[in-house]
Structure 1
Amino acid sequence: MPSLILNGRGTDARLDSHHVVISRHEGDASSPPRHVPLHDVDRVVVVGQPHISMAVLCELMKRGLPVSFLTPAGRWLGTLSPDNNLNAARRLAQYDRSRDETLSVPVARALIAAKLQNARRVLQRLAANRSETQLPAHAQCQEEIKRLIGRTTRETDLESLRGLEGLGSARYFGQLKRYFPEHMPFPERSRRPPRDPANALLSWTYTIVLGELDAQVRSHGLDPGIGFLHRLT
């Protein structure tokens, strides 16, 4: 799923047939233009304020390719995506079901369990790559997250499920810091703003994933602002 990233001032993007032509200018210097075939692109990420022609944006919309906009610091601003699925009935059903706890709680339970299970697998792979699966700290973290996964099947309200999510995240990041290199330490999770390069890298990755999810939800005619884990207040 290739992404085309247009980063910062001095970047120009224009349309030439079925290609995006990208040029970089820094002062009096400029780099040779690059031709990127649109059939090789699945999405576009715009960082900062590059110059993008309207022809490029229109062609991306015609092809159904989402465009995510980020600040220079990597904060997600929003996604421009073609609204090809104007299914009002589907969105009304989504709104109704989000208020139905007999449906929202099982969905939230499945989401939290999947998130914790994936966190556990990431740590397993990192430990296996370093032959650390037998270390006490790794084994303890694995067991704690496993217990949290088991508890998700018994919780019956959203607040308790969110609490399990928070506990799992704390265990995950507490163990994840062991696997960062010395030149990029990860003391703890911080955001808005991230306080070090490791957190900046994580925040950047999560921002890209957020744009992906937003575009996918919209492409199915659903509202990304309505979910099953958090209630509207």
Structure 2
Amino acid sequence: MANIYITEQGAVLRKTGDRLIVEKDDETLLDVPCEKVDNVLIFGNVQFTTQAVHEMFDHGIEMAILTRTGRLVGQITAPTSKNVDLRVAQFDRYRNEDFRLDLARTVVQGKVKNALNMMRGFAFNHPERNFTEEIEGIRSLSEQITGTTAIDVLMGMEGTAARIYFGGFGKMILSDFRFEGRRKHPATDPVNALLSFTYTLMFNEILGLLDGIGFDPYVGFFHAIEYGRASLASDLLEEFRASADRLSLSLLNNRVFKEEDFYRNPKGEGVYLMREALKRYFAQYEKYLNREFTHPETKETSTLRKCFRLQAERLAKVLKENVPYTCFNLEV
């Protein structure tokens, strides 16, 4: 199963039989059976027919609509899952302040641990670069997380750990790209553009999974409820951010992209990938998410994409059966 990324401006997504067709100016750009598609992501000025949407609903295919520069606008999905018991359990757990705090601590601990593992792994492979200060700072914060007694304090600690981590992230870039710190909304340089775009795509996949399993994606435990924000998807993304960073770092250090693969928005701020560079990015993204490895806990063959689902299903079990939650562990 695969994702379809439609970036050709002016293209039209149609259906014939049980196949999805992408056309432009009477030319067929793509023709694929629905059974081979998980998600369709539309970027910018791309049209689609209601018949195509009906066919995607019939096959359980999610469709995400993004701006040309990659900002998620919204999703078109089939009717909400009938898993009402899960949503009831989710709402009950949300009202339990002790549960929320405990799960939030686990989420932040998982994120920080994965960031630390990634930095330690890079430091081991590149002894010529000194990460002692960053590693010690993140490690110290990690030890304090378990004793945190309020989510707002925990949020502050997570932010501090992120600042320390990204303070050292630039040292991990071996190519000519410069990185002076995390900048978003919008990204101000190519490195931040890659980081933000990867987060967006992973967030979209996680959001679709949560919705399909039967969660209410807008009721989170670490991230507060905020109008229009899928807080639960933001919660689950945290433990995968270091995995997203590793992909971005690999693309930079392997020189998959050059400065000319990015452009600055002429109508405002922000740096984004050029259209042809996007195609290369999607190929690398799919390869990364579908790379097989032995899961450290189950010992089964898995992929990062499968781990998204595994963690969502694990969270469902936590909410319904009151068992401890275990975050995804990034091994380097």
1:209 maps to amino acid: M
Partner of 1:200: 193
Matched, 1:169 2:192: no
* Contact 1:124 1:133 (C-alpha < 8 Å) held by counterparts: no
Q: Which structure would you say has the larger RCO, counting Cα contacts within 8 Å and 6 or more residues apart? A: 1
Alignment coverage as a number of residue pairs? 226
Counterpart code for 1:199: N
2:105 equivalent to 1:109: yes
Q: Structure 1 stretch 173-182 or stretch 157-166: which is displaced more?
A: 173-182
Which residue of 3, 12, 37 corresponds with 2:33? Answer: 37
Q: 2:48 aligns to what?
A: 52
**Aligned equivalents of 2:145 and 2:211: distance in 1?**
28
Does 1:92 pair with 2:88?
yes
What CA deviation, in whole Å up to 9, does each residue of 1:202-221 have, x standing for no partner? 11111111111211111122
More displaced, 83-92 or 59-68? 83-92
Greater gyration radius = 1
1:134 shift after superposition? 6.4
Distance of 1:33 and 1:227 partners within structure 2: 39
Mark the runs of 5 or more structure 2 residues left unpaired by the alignment.
Answer: 227-332
Give, in whole Å, the separation in 2 of the partners of 1:142 and 1:106: 25
**TM-score normalised by length of structure 1:** 0.86
1:21 match: 21
Mapped to 2, the partners of 1:184 and 1:41 lie a distance apart of: 35
Which among 126, 143, 150 is matched to residue 132 of structure 1? 126
Report deviation, 1:223: 1.1
The secondary structure found in structure 2 opposite 1:43 is strand
Gaps in structure 1 of 5+ consecutive residues: none
User: Residue 133 of structure 1 contacts residue 139 of structure 1 at CA under 8 Å; is this kept in 2?
Assistant: no
User: Post-superposition shift, 1:15?
Assistant: 1.4
2:192 & 2:49 partners in 1: Cα distance?
A: 33
2:57 maps to 1:61: yes
Q: Which residue of 1 aligns with 2:224?
A: 231
Q: Percent identity?
A: 27
Comparing 107-116 with 14-23, greater Cα deviation is found at 14-23
Change in Cα spacing, 1:134 to 1:145, as seen in structure 2 (3 Å) is: farther
C-alpha displacement at 1:32, in angstroms? 5.0
Residue 10 of structure 1 pairs with residue 4 of structure 2: no
In structure 1, distance between residues paired with 2:144 and 2:173: 30
After TM superposition, give the deviation of residue 105 of structure 1 in Å: 0.6
**Per-residue Cα deviation, 1:162-212 (whole angstroms, up to 9, x for no partner):** 111101111121111223354432222111111112212211111111111
- 1:25-67: CA deviations, max 9, x gaps? 5xxxx76533223333221111112022222221111111211
Q: Compared with structure 1, are the counterparts of its residues 31 and 195 closer, same or farther at alpha carbon in structure 2 (3 Å cutoff)?
A: farther
1:147 matched to 2:140? The reply is yes
Out of 207, 214, 218, the residue aligned to residue 207 of structure 2 is: 214
Question: Is the CA contact (8 Å cut-off) linking 2:129 and 2:171 kept in structure 1?
Answer: no
Which digits, 9 at most, give the CA deviation of each residue in 1:59-115, with x for residues without a partner? 111111211111112111122222351344432332232121111011000000011
Residue 231 (structure 1) shift = 3.3
Q: Pairwise CA RMSD of aligned residues?
A: 2.2
For residue 71 of structure 1, what is the aligned residue in structure 2? 67
Q: 1:196 to 1:65 in 2, by over 3 A?
A: same
CA drift of 1:8 comes to 4.6
* Aligned counterparts of 1:9 and 1:102: Cα–Cα separation in 2: 49
Q: For the Cα contact (< 8 Å) 1:78–1:211, is it kept in 2?
A: no
Q: Distance in 1 between matches of 2:46 and 2:186?
A: 23
CA distance in 2, matches of 1:177, 1:226: 34
